[in-house]
Amino acid sequence: MEFSQTRVLVTGASSGIGRATAVRLAKEREITLILSGRDEARLRETWTLCGERAEDVLWPRELDNAWAAGEALQEFLQARQLSVQAFVHCAGMAPLLPLRLADAETAHRIMEVNFFSAAALLETLISRHVNRKELTRVVLISSVQSQIGAKGQGFYCASKAALEGFLRAMAEELGPRVRVNAIRPGAVPSRMADELTARADLLTKDVAEGYTLGLGMPEDIASMVAFLLSEEARWITGQCFTVDGGRMAH
C-alpha cells in the first residue's frame, strides 16, 4: 500500500483490534505511532510487538471522561511538539448491562468511552492551534452490534450506532481535507469480546450459527484500517465498512 509520511494516534492499543492495528501499521516505514490505552504495562507490550521503535510514543490514558481526555491530548501533543495526521479510535468497553439492571454511572461510562471520547479527541485534532490542520484521515471502530440487537447490550449497541451517525456528519463537516470512515467488525477474539459475551460458549455458539467464514481475528480488521489510511482509499469518506465473515449476510 502507498502511504504518505504519517503519525497515527491509535486508541485502545493495549489489546484486541487496537493492538493488531498498531502492529500492522508499524510495518509501514512512513508511519509512526502514538499508542494510547488505559493500561500502560499492556501498552508497552504492544510497543514491543511493534518492534520497540524509538519514534513511537505512548500515551496511557483512561477515556471515561471524554472532554478531560481531549484536554489531556492537547497538553500531550503540545508538550512533545507532535502533530497527528491520522486518528484510529479502537477504544471501547462492552459490559453486559440489561436495562432492568442498568445504572446511570455504567451507562454514561459506556457512552463516554465508546462515543464521546471519539468526538472529544477529534475536536482536539482538528484544532488549528493544537494540530496545525494536519489531520487528514480518521477511522472509527464500530461493531455489527450497531445493526443487530442483543440482550444485555442495549447501551453498547446505542454507543456504536451513535458513532456511525457521527462519522457521516463529520465526513461532511470536515471534508474535503479530512476523510472520515468507520469499520463495523463482527466477532473477533479480544478482551472486550470476552466482556461482551461473558461466557466463551456463547461466542462459540454465535460463530457456529451466524458466521459464514467463522470467527475472525483482530488482524482482519487491522488490514482494513491500513487500507483506509492509505492513499489507495483517497476517494472514500463517510462510509462504514462491514468486516464480519458473512454475519450480516444472513
The CATH number assigned to the domain holding 99 equals 3.40.50.720
* 161-175, 206-220, 232-246: segment of lowest average pLDDT: 206-220
Structural contact between residues 9 and 80, judged by C-beta atoms closer than 8 angstroms: no
Please measure the distance between the N-terminal and C-terminal CA atoms of the chain and give it in whole angstroms.
32
* Structural domain range at position 110: 6-242
Q: Which three cell numbers stand for residue 69?
A: 481526555
pLDDT tens digits for 190-224?
665 555 444 445 555 555 568 899 889 999 999 99
Query: Which residue spans within 38-126 are E strands per DSSP?
Result: 57-60, 86-89
Is residue 134 assigned to a domain? yes
Return d(Cα 196, Cα 27) in angstroms, integer. 30
pLDDT tens digits for 89-117?
999 998 888 888 889 999 999 999 999 99
Residue 246 φ/ψ region, left for φ over 0, alpha for ψ in the -120 to 50 degree band, beta for the rest: left
Is residue 75 assigned to a domain? yes
* Secondary structure class of 83 (helix, strand, coil): coil
Return d(Cα 99, Cα 140) in angstroms, integer. 26
Is residue 250 assigned to a domain? no
Is residue 248 assigned to a domain? no
Q: What are phi and psi of 180, to 5 degrees?
A: -125, 120
pLDDT tens digits for 30-61?
999 999 999 999 999 999 999 999 999 999 99
- Asked if residue 12 has pLDDT above 60, the reply is yes
Is residue 232 assigned to a domain? yes
List the catalytic residues. Answer: 156
Cross-strand bridge partners of residue 60: 37
pLDDT top residue among 199 and 81? 81
Q: Which three cell numbers stand for residue 168?
A: 457521516
- Beta strand 6-11 with 31-37: parallel, antiparallel or unpaired? parallel
Query: Which residue spans within the chain are E strands per DSSP?
Result: 6-11, 31-37, 57-60, 86-89, 137-141, 179-185, 240-243
Structural contact between residues 102 and 150, judged by C-beta atoms closer than 8 angstroms: no
Is residue 175 assigned to a domain? yes
Cis peptide before 98 (omega within 30 of 0): no
Is residue 138 assigned to a domain? yes
Burial status of residue 9 (CB atoms within 10 A of its CB: 0-12, 13-18, 19 or more): buried
Into how many domains does the chain fold?
Answer: 1
- Asked if residue 70 has pLDDT above 70, the reply is yes
pTM: 0.93
Is residue 247 assigned to a domain? no
- 138 pLDDT band (50/70/90 cuts)? very high
